Amino acid sequence: MKKDTDLEDDLRPEYDFRSLRVVARGPGRAKPGEIQIFLAPDVAEVFPDSDAVNEALRTLIRLGRLQPSR
pLDDT of residue 5: 63
Question: 47: exposed, middle or buried (C-beta count within 10 Å: 0-12, 13-18, 19+)?
Answer: middle
pLDDT of residue 30: 72
User: Phi then psi for 34, rounded to 5 degrees?
Assistant: -85, 140
pLDDT per residue as tens digits for the range 22-66: 776 777 777 778 888 899 999 999 999 999 999 999 999 999 998
- Host H or E run for residue 62: helix 50-66
Domain ranges for the chain: 41-70
* Residue among 40, 44, 68 nearest 56 (CA): 44
Q: Residue 31 and residue 35: Cα distance in Å, rounded?
A: 8
The pTM (predicted TM-score) of the whole model is 0.52
pLDDT of residue 70: 65
